Amino acid sequence: MSTAAEIKAFATKYGIKNVNLIQTKPLINGKWVTPAKAETFAVDDPATGDHLLHVINTPVDLVEQSIKDAKVAFDSFKKTTGRYRGGLLKKLHALMVENEEDLAKLCTIENGKALPDSRGEIKYGYSFFEWFSEEAPRINGDNISSADANRRILTYKQPVGVVGILTPWNFPTAMITRKMGAAIAAGCTAVVKPATETPLSALAIGYLAQQAGFPPGVFNLLPVDNERTKAVGSLFCESKLIKKVSFTGSTGVGKLLMGQSASTLKKLSFELGGNAPFIVFDDADLEKAVDGAIASKLRQSGQTCVCANRLYIQEGIYDKFAKLITEKVSKLKQGHGLEEGVTHGPLIHERAVEKVKSQIKDAVDKGAKVLFGGKPATNLGPLFHQLTVLGDVPRNAIVNTDETFGPLVPLIKFKTEEEVIELANNTDFECWYGWC
């Protein structure tokens, strides 16, 4: 793990004022734990490829112990009042507001997104704590009409138990706050495995939860490397102590986790992949349609499950739309997310770059035209790919069926409403739809 001197140097380099936010150990039962044999993994800046810090790779036996600790904590935490739990979340919300610029910088450094995007994510993230802090005291049951005059039927809600939370790298703060906030408000305890690429944002929330007075064992954080991630995911699904698993990530991994959860009949909440259509009709406001398409398709360089993946443009407006979106995309600025004026950062890893390259090649080989970009932006860094607009994309191109997760804007022409509805619905992914 990184030394105190390395952490201080990191904070100084990037202008992070609250150095205590930077943690590199797992948080288990209220303590930052150093295993007897402390293996670590590197956290890298995707914009430069530089190693930032080294974080402890939580051993599987400590993961198992954290689940047991969470169960012990649950036995008492479930008896607390909603007002008490809401108070904890309200304090945590206030601490995130107090530290939001530092949290935004951490997000940009390890994730790569532009700093304005990170600031937006932090605000979005702590809004969940504010919401659930107010909802926690409102967990009410029902009085149901009975068919028997001598009986009354009452229902009440109670927490399910320990919740296993698996979060993605593309929203390293907001996906934790959304899931964890609901769990805490309901009276559950949580064990969280953050994405290997972005553990620092998660661990910062853990530190603030300590400062907010969260009881030991209520909120546990378990950073692990990619190799150990599979074992931890399997453990979450197969453990009899964990009663619910919440996961955001790929559809393939979601299927795997669902299968592993079958033996324990676990409750599951999954948010998986998308292949969202964005439909523009001839009578749309051209400027608004283009601006909306860019905001949706190229958000975080295309790396969200609700990004528009397929842009269907009606033939009467197609040429004007293609020209305007190409002009506007050409004015966007790629670079390190902390640089002034940068709107789009790198992709998260080499696999993401290769996927974008392969989808562009496939589409061009089948007749698509490169209107802008089309190549890796190696002058900016190894994980940058040019923002790319493809015109006349054929319907048999892979981009029509596979999620891209990158800065590729494919324009597909259509004639009638009936035709485009059929095209839009021709997918196994149903995460998001949009039209103008």
Q: Which residues does the annotation mark as catalytic?
A: 271
Pick from 353, 362, 404: nearest CA to 381? 353
Pick from 225, 260, 214: nearest CA to 57? 225
Residues 6+ apart with CB under 8 A from 223: 26, 41, 55, 56, 57, 58, 193, 194, 196, 199, 202, 203
φ, ψ dihedrals at 370, nearest 5°: -80, 110
Looking only at the bridges linking them, the beta strands covering 162-166 and 51-56 are: unpaired
The pairs formed by 301-304 with CB atoms below 8 angstroms and a separation of 24 or more are 301/112, 301/113, 301/344, 301/345, 301/346, 301/347, 301/385, 301/387, 301/406, 301/407, 302/404, 302/405, 302/406, 302/407, 302/408, 303/170, 303/347, 303/348, 303/352, 303/405, 303/406, 304/170, 304/171
In three-state form (DSSP H/G/I as H, E/B as E, the rest C), the secondary structure along 48-112 is: CCCEEEEEECCCHHHHHHHHHHHHHHHHHHCCCCHHHHHHHHHHHHHHHHHCHHHHHHHHHHHHC
Instruction: Retrieve residue 399's tokens.
Output: 């981009």
Instruction: Retrieve residue 77's tokens.
Output: 């935490």
23 SS3 class = coil
238-257: b or e for each residue (b if 16 or more CB lie within 10 Å)? ebebbbbbbbbbebebbebb
Instruction: Retrieve residue 385's tokens.
Output: 């790919």
Q: Looking at this protein, which amino acid is placed at residue 397?
A: A
d(CA 364, CA 359) in angstroms, rounded, equals 9
Burial class (CB within 10 angstroms; exposed 0-12, middle 13-18, buried 19+) of 306: middle
d(CA 169, CA 303) in angstroms, rounded, equals 10
